[in-house]
Amino acid sequence: MSSMTKNKLLIYLTGVAALVLLFALPFALKPGAGFGGADDSAGEVIESLSPGYQPWFSSLWEPPAETESMLFALQAAIGAVVIGYFVGYIRGSSN
């Protein structure tokens, strides 16, 4: 049993290492590439396909850049709290 859990831990760790590598790689390959955003590049493609297109509706409210980062972080935090609560609940109730 303990060797099985150990094995599993190894698999988990390998998975996490692969994840980190996957997301760190772009920084190494293209330092300073920035967070342009694929959505914005799509906007450029639209511009080239249909020159002069004006978006006919704009966001009701656009947060300043820093607020936007904060709200993105908030969104992640809400999700992370729920996941953390769940994992804690499972751990606690199985003891």
Partner 1 sequence: MHIMEGFLPLIWVIIWFALSMPFVLYGIIEMRKLFKEHPEQKMILAVSGAFIFVLSSLKLPSVTGSSSHPTGTGLSSVLFGPSITSVMATIVLIFQAVLLAHGGLTTLGANVFSMGIAGPFVGWLAFKGMRKAKVGMTPSIFVAAVLADWATYVVTSIQLALAYPGASILSSFAAFATVFAITQVPLAIGEGILIAIFFDFLASSRPKMVATILKEKAGMATPESIGVAQ
Residue 37 phi/psi, 5-degree rounding, is: 90, 125
Report in angstroms how near the CB of residue 88 gets to partner 1 at its nearest: 11
Token duo for residue 5: 């859990």
The residue ranges that bind partner 1 (CB under 8 A) are 4-5, 7-8, 11-12, 15-16, 18-19, 22-23, 25-27, 29-30, 33-43, 45-46, 48-50, 53, 55-63, 68, 71-73, 75-76, 78-83, 86-87, 89-91, 94
What b/e string do you get for 1-20 counting C-beta neighbours within 10 Å, with b at 16 or more? Answer: eeeeeeeeeeeeeeeeeeee
